Amino acid sequence: MAVHSHADHPHPHHLAEQIPPIQFESTGLDDNGSETVGRRDSLASGAGLARSSSGDEDADTAAEKGEPGSPRTGGHDLEKAASLPHSAPPADDFPDGGWRAWSVVAGAWCISFTSWGYSNSFGVFQTYYADHQLSSYTSSDISWIGSFQLAMVLACAFLAGKAFDAGYIKYLLCAALCFYAAGMFGLANATQYWQIFLAQGLSCGLAAGIAFLPAASSVSHWFKRRRATALGFLATGSSIGGIVYPIMQNRMFQSVGFEWTVRAVAFLTIALVGIAALTVNSRLPPKKIGNIFDFRPLRERSFVLFIAAESIIMLGLYTPYFYIQDYGRAHGVSPNVTQYSLAILNGASIFGRIIPNWLADTYGPLTILTPQCFISGILMFCFIPMCKSEAGLIVFTILFGFSSGAYVSMMPATTASLTKDMRQLGHRTSLLFLFVSIFALTGTPISGAILSRDPSYKSSLFSSGAFVLVGSVLNAATWWVVSKEKGTRWV
């Protein structure tokens, strides 16, 4: 029987660490006609023994997972194993550093900066559109643009992950570059609702969706021992992008106008995605794509509860991201504060992504995620009284940025803790994102529709907070089920 190590149930820090490196098996036949599979990790240093692939099935499973020290060779002796093709590097032969590996991290950081940073800055556009091009439309109508963009980032992961597994990462990044160029330069000249929706919602959302998961996953091909360091650097990209984009857009809208602001954002975004297209690459050869639409994980009670919890939370969580500038301005908060509110919120999320994930390594992701979501829900009920003054708005953005950052970053980590076979982790994560994307699409438009009927923001914020609290209760239910299954409360 194979010995299961702690690595079978990791609590990683970021989405990229959740996606196990692609395994590739080089097959051949020995002199007796038996199949030979792969190579033993120790052959990389010229030592080790070869074994037949017809041996112990548990050992083969460990080899497919890439566990350290697991046998990966067939044949009868060292010479024959060493003569196998060298096109497929051993799964555990990670560079763990060097110029090539760190250039991949830098490129993936650029994608994280552009994809989530730009999506999380839509609140700036929400305010601007309401005063200019789309002044005749309701808040709900305008928010459909941003919610569709956000939903595309999540939904596209389902197919982009499969394309990455098949070795098409360069094609995905080049396609993202083209979609960003078309969307942003088209947005600069857009004046009608449908034009803005296609340019910003569809084209930019699609660009972010097909680039983020493959770029982040590629880091796992190059790092193992130092993976936490590499992914810790990668995790800062989305938060820093969420600081730079809102400040840049708010300041330039006033000085150079909408067209050149969007063009300047386009130049920055295209340059960063271009760097990623040149530097990001997978290290291991591609593998055959299996069944794309595999819903067997939905047979697990704990996983279904978790999907339901995160989906309902998504219905309300992004309401402050979209409307905090509008609310502060409507209640007399200084423009010097409101125009930086999104930047402060995203800046606080840097710590919300790092500290809870660090604690989750010890206490389990569900144990940490559940109270963080409760805090987010409670804070949304405090939005109305807190955000009517400069000091209150700043305090709210810091606290809510921290708690909501934990939700976004810990979804994949929690999925990993619910996964028994790590080879299925990439598919299970993308399946979670597919369902959550549906609620990301509808959440802020629902808040906008409520806001149109009650301009005081009370109904909109209270309903959003209720969604987050209901989802938090389901998170607690998931924690209870999993703790019973594993026999420990640290899950």
Angle between helices 227-255 and 341-363 (to 10 degrees): 170
Same domain, 78 and 104: no
CA distance from start to end of the chain: 25
Query: Please, which residues have CB within 8 angstroms of residue 205's CB and are 6 or more apart in sequence?
Result: 119, 148, 149, 150, 151, 152, 153, 156
Is residue 389 in a domain?
yes
Q: What three-state secondary structure class fits 47?
A: coil
Is residue 20 in a domain?
no
Interatomic CA distance for residues 17 and 95, integer angstroms: 16
Same domain, 76 and 152: no
Contact (CB, 8 A) for 393 and 324 = yes
Rama region for 344: left / alpha / beta (φ>0; ψ in -120 to 50; rest): alpha
Q: How many C-beta neighbours within 10 Å does residue 92 have? A: 17
Same domain, 386 and 320: yes
CATH of the domain at 270: 1.20.1250.20
Contact (CB, 8 A) for 403 and 278 = no
Both tokens assigned to 128: 């601007």
* Confidence (pLDDT) at 225: 67
Contact (CB, 8 A) for 462 and 367 = no
Of the three residues 52, 82, 112, the one that is the final residue of a domain is: 82
Contact (CB, 8 A) for 327 and 457 = yes
Is residue 439 in a domain?
yes
Is residue 195 in a domain?
yes
Condensed to tens digits (0 to 9), the pLDDT of residues 415-457 reads 878 888 766 766 788 889 899 999 999 999 999 999 989 888 9
Residue 47 amino acid letter: A
Residue 318 amino acid letter: Y
Same domain, 49 and 182: no
Task: Of 20, 3, 1, give the one whose Cα is nearest residue 419.
Answer: 20
Task: Of 182, 163, 188, 183, give the one whose Cα is nearest residue 173.
Answer: 163
| Residue 211 CA: distances (Å) to CA of 109, 164, 252, 286, 454 | 11, 10, 27, 17, 38
Considering its fold, how many domains does the chain have in total?
2
Q: How many C-beta neighbours within 10 Å does residue 110 have? A: 24
Place of tokens 């990229």: 16
* Confidence (pLDDT) at 424: 73
Same domain, 326 and 401: yes
Contact (CB, 8 A) for 163 and 214 = yes
Same domain, 184 and 38: no
Task: Of 130, 58, 10, give the one whose Cα is nearest residue 414.
Answer: 10
Same domain, 353 and 235: yes
Q: What three-state secondary structure class fits 27?
A: strand
Interatomic CA distance for residues 326 and 123, integer angstroms: 8
Task: Of 75, 82, 90, give the one whose Cα is nearest residue 35.
Answer: 75
Angle between helices 365-381 and 458-486 (to 10 degrees): 160
Interatomic CA distance for residues 120 and 407, integer angstroms: 14
Residue 315 amino acid letter: L
User: Which own/partner contact pairs does 56-63 have at CB distance under 8 Å and 24+ positions apart?
Assistant: 58/1, 58/2, 59/2, 61/2, 62/2, 63/37, 63/38, 63/91
Same domain, 125 and 34: no
DSSP 8-state symbol, 296: G
Interatomic CA distance for residues 54 and 259, integer angstroms: 65
Q: Please provide residue 37's backbone torsions phi and psi, each rounded to the nearest 5 degrees.
A: -130, 120
Is residue 18 in a domain?
no
Interatomic CA distance for residues 460 and 402, integer angstroms: 22
* Confidence (pLDDT) at 145: 95
Strand partners, 37: 27
Same domain, 204 and 352: yes
Confidence (pTM): 0.74
Same domain, 111 and 193: yes
| Residue 233 CA: distances (Å) to CA of 20, 102, 223, 226, 283 | 19, 10, 13, 11, 20
* Confidence (pLDDT) at 409: 76
Interatomic CA distance for residues 155 and 213, integer angstroms: 11
Is residue 92 in a domain?
no
Q: Answer positive or negative: Cα dihedral of 148, 424, 470, 397.
A: negative
Place of tokens 């760097």: 275
Q: Counting Cβ atoms within 10 Å, is residue 230 exposed (0-12), middle (13-18) or buried (19+)?
A: buried
Task: Of 357, 485, 483, 348, give the one whose Cα is nearest residue 410.
Answer: 357
Q: What three-state secondary structure class fits 271?
A: helix
Interatomic CA distance for residues 280 and 460, integer angstroms: 42
Contact (CB, 8 A) for 121 and 243 = no
Same domain, 37 and 181: no
Task: Of 169, 272, 183, give the one whose Cα is nearest residue 213.
Answer: 169
Same domain, 255 and 117: yes
* Confidence (pLDDT) at 72: 40
* Confidence (pLDDT) at 482: 93
Is residue 247 in a domain?
yes
Of the three residues 82, 114, 131, the one that is the final residue of a domain is: 82
Task: Of 115, 351, 88, 149, give the one whose Cα is nearest residue 238.
Answer: 115
Is residue 76 in a domain?
yes
Spans of the chain, pLDDT less than 50: 1-87
> Residue 71 sits in which domain range?
25-82
